[in-house]
Chains A and B, each alone.
Chain A
Amino acid sequence: MIFNSLIFVVFFAMVLFLHAMPFPWRVKKINLLIASYIFYAAWNPPFVILLWLSTVVDWFAARGLGQAEEPWKRRGWMLLSVVASLGLLCYFKYGHFLVENFAHLASLAGFRYVPPQSSIVLPIGISFYTFATMSYTLDIYLRRATPARSFLDYALFVTFFPHLVAGPIMRPTELVPQFEVPHKATPDQLRFGLVLMTLGLFEKAVLADGFLGPVVEQIYDGKAIPGFIDSWVATLAFSGQIFCDFAGYSIAAIGAALCLGFALSDNFRFPYAAVGFTDFWRRWHITLSAWLRDYVYIPLGGNRHGNVRTYFSLMATMLIGGLWHGASWTFVVWGGLHGLYLAIERMLRKQFSGYRPGRAAAAALGLLTFLLVNIAWVFFRAKTFHQAILILGGMFGRNTHAQPVLAGVYLLTTTVIIAGLVLAHCSMRNQTLEAAIARAHPAALTALWTMMAFAVVIQHGESNGFIYFQF
């Protein structure tokens, strides 16, 4: 089930109704758990079994970890959890990719191996809930937390529908305590939750799907060789689309949880106002980058073992981050580019450690960051390296004989939306959305909320899946 579908409106109304009933807290939690399984099963019922498997394995692994004293036993339980979680992920997400690459390597070595036709369906959101359950056992292994006392609370943490299929990637320490005591939204929490859901749906249905998606598809899924303008506009449109799609989902998820009285973590903090790539990754998909930092970068050594090890850890983390997004080498290159950006930035920061940029320099560095992020997006969106290189050729003015592809209205709408998005990010880079809203005039806020809600209503149409569902 996706937030921008009609069935979700009915589902969510029923969940809100049940949650407002005077049932005991345990009954309400069971209601939420069942609702979350229905939410997941509405996409493909049999895959609920995977969710159960993931939940149960990590529950028992965590209990084993909690009881074990000897290091080898603890390591054994931790490995069981990691191998089971990553095993599921590898089979469903990377199985076909691994076999294809094996066949390619075999052909290079002179052997002919034809892989069998793969009919593996990628379970929706598997990367998200796998990371969530892994963080549970890893936190206990790293002695940052102790096992949850109630299986119901733990199962609800894994399955809670607002974050289940596309994050924010929650940690058990963030959510389990909320399930231990009764939570019910206050009237203002409910209303503000609805504001956030409206904002999220506006970003997703109107901006990402309605206005930016078609522009991206014309260039990235078309056959024409794009020129300078078309390549840049389509790539800028994709930078807006991916943000509005994913941040839209995150904000709607936060809003949905808030309507029920629960708090989810921030997942975006105006990333297109970032100055530098360290800053960018503190603002973009925060819960994933923090997860990778805590469970990959730091265990690999982080910055505690000299320069070479630091750069290795950085690059390895970003390559894994790239691969997490999809089983394709284009995603690996996207991750590698960001690893490279971060490494260069780190070197420059060391070289010019005393330098503090002024306003103009910070703006120029922010613009440079945005442009380089856009160049990396080409590999994220392009389906093949050939296509990526073709579009990069256009962006660097090399496709001199290209014919115009995008209609004038596409150039206009994309420019207006992206300029508005970047300006909004810049104006709010040092505050939260809530702080900005608190300062706004109620009439202006009402007008904005009305405009967004009405735009969602008249955009309607086919409910497209969220881009991040495939990851």
Chain B
Amino acid sequence: MASSISSSEEIVRDTRQALPSGLRLTAADRPGMAQPVPERDIPQQPWRAMALAVTVVVLLLTSLWEWKMRTLELVPGDLGESYDRWAELRRQVDKRNVPVVIIGDSRILFDSDLDRATQLIGVRPLQLAIAGGSGLPILEDIANDPHFKGLAIVGMAETAYFDLQLTGMRPQKALALSRWESPSSRGSFFIHRVLSHGLAMLDDDYQLSTLVFRLDHNWRPGVIDRRLAIWKAQETSADGQTWLWRRLEHDRRLSERMHSVWLKFFPSQPLDEQTINSVSVRTKVAVDKIRARGGDVVFVRPPSAPDLRTIEDKHVPRARVWDAILAYTHSNGVHIDDLPAVPNLTLPEGSHLSRACATVFTDAYLRDLAGKTPLLHLQPGAPPALATPNCMRPSVADLH
């Protein structure tokens, strides 16, 4: 030992001779002395052959797993509910002039077709809605950001927008990440994105532990069924385009289970007046700030299935909430009830539109909004308007 730092070598060597085989001294065995250089023995094993075997078998198993995940309709490039992706999109507001942002919850997130929007209005909206999150914290955030001078389209499932105790946490988490994200976290997300282009298995909803937990078939009476937890619902690309997961459009077992989750998830007792007032006041403050900079805010209420809508209307009736907040904030908006061209759109699991119907709905709400805010203009060469039959499957449409 070269260093004069280690002066305790002799003492330790004496103590170690008394050790039984298979044990070695640790710092716990050497009180009040300088600790010597640790010894780490390498167990006698055919490590070379073992490493080779492990590499081959793990690669094989991973390939099989990837194949299995693809048979379950997971797709490469799906970034899921990544906060890192959201934070990256949010930071764009600070870097460039963003003319249109979409904020809100999963409905406006899944039900907006950004390509269609680009064709109609000539700019691609920045999708900042968060599944399971209220749009209010995001609206307040961009209202406080002097860089933003554009149009904010606020999607509003009223329960999500107003019940901040349920829906406020996710936006706060995403916002915190957009304000400060460590270089390590950004680097990891970059690599994750590169990997996810080739691998479908990197889906958080299909992690090993999640799959094991979902084996629970109501095993313990009195406990909420694990399968009634919100599970994979979305497919997200790096540019923020998000759809309802494709498998939910045709797998009835999954879509019905998801439907029953929504029915249990949404509260039916009327929302208290105090919450409505405080959320309305906060909304008005944010709207006024954006307008003071030359921007604007409009609201959109996407569709929900009749049984779900009945529950929502008990909790947050249109007159008390939607109509009231538009009047209070002097804002325009589009409610699904006011879009006669697109009735009976397909909602596979009751709360979100099918991919094809999301395009139709986007077309309808943007055309409507174009007449209601000076910051939104239909392109001269915009494609013709769509209607419900454009998104119905031929067989279903034929029946009608």
State the A residues within 8 Å of B (CB).
1-2, 5-7, 9-10, 41-45, 139, 144-149, 153, 171-178, 180-181, 186-189, 191-192, 194-195, 206, 210-211, 214, 254, 258, 263-266, 269, 281-283, 286-287, 289-291, 293-294, 298, 403-413, 430-432, 434-435, 437-438, 440, 442, 445-446, 449-450, 453-455, 457-463
Contacts and interface: CB of A to CB of B under 8 A. Distances in A.
B8 interface: yes
Interface in B183-226: 183-185, 187-188, 191-192, 195, 201-202, 204, 207-209, 212-213, 215-216, 218-226
Contact of B40 (A176, A187, A263): A263
Q: Which 8 A-B pairs rank lowest in CB-CB distance, beginning with the nearest?
A: A408-B219, A210-B209, A290-B27, A409-B216, A438-B43, A435-B22, A431-B22, A408-B220
Nearest to B192: A6
Nearest to B6: A173
Given A264-B38, A434-B42, A438-B44, A455 B208 contact: yes
A214 B46 contact: no
A446 B50 contact: yes
Nearest to B41: A434
B207 A460 contact: yes
B384 interface: no
Interface residues of B, number: 74
Contacts of B207: 210, 458-461
Interface string B5-23: 1111000000000001111
20 contacts: A5-B188, A6-B191, A9-B191, A10-B191, A171-B27, A173-B3, A173-B7, A174-B36, A178-B37, A188-B42, A282-B29, A403-B222, A404-B223, A406-B220, A407-B216, A408-B219, A408-B220, A409-B216, A409-B226, A459-B209
B328 interface: no
Contact of A146 (B5, B31, B40, B225): B5
A408 B212 CA distance: 12
Given A172-B5, A263-B40, A145 B34 contact: yes
B265 interface: no
Interface of B: 1-8, 20-24, 26-51, 53-54, 57-58, 61-62, 65, 182-185, 187-188, 191-192, 195, 201-202, 204, 207-209, 212-213, 215-216, 218-226
A432 B184 contact: no
A265 B26 contact: yes
Contacts of B8: 144, 173
A181 B1 CA distance: 9
B192 A430 contact: no
B51 to A, nearest CB: 5
User: Secondary structure at chain A's binding surface: helix, strand, loop or mixed?
Assistant: helix
Contacts of B204: 461-462
Contacts of A431: 22-23
A434 B184 contact: no
B194 to A, nearest CB: 9
Nearest to A431: B22
Contact of A192 (B30, B36, B42): B42
Contacts of B48: 187-188, 191
Nearest to B56: A450
A180 B57 CA distance: 40
A281 B191 CA distance: 40
B223 to A, nearest CB: 5
B61 A454 contact: yes
A174 B31 contact: no
A264 B22 CA distance: 18
B213 A410 contact: yes
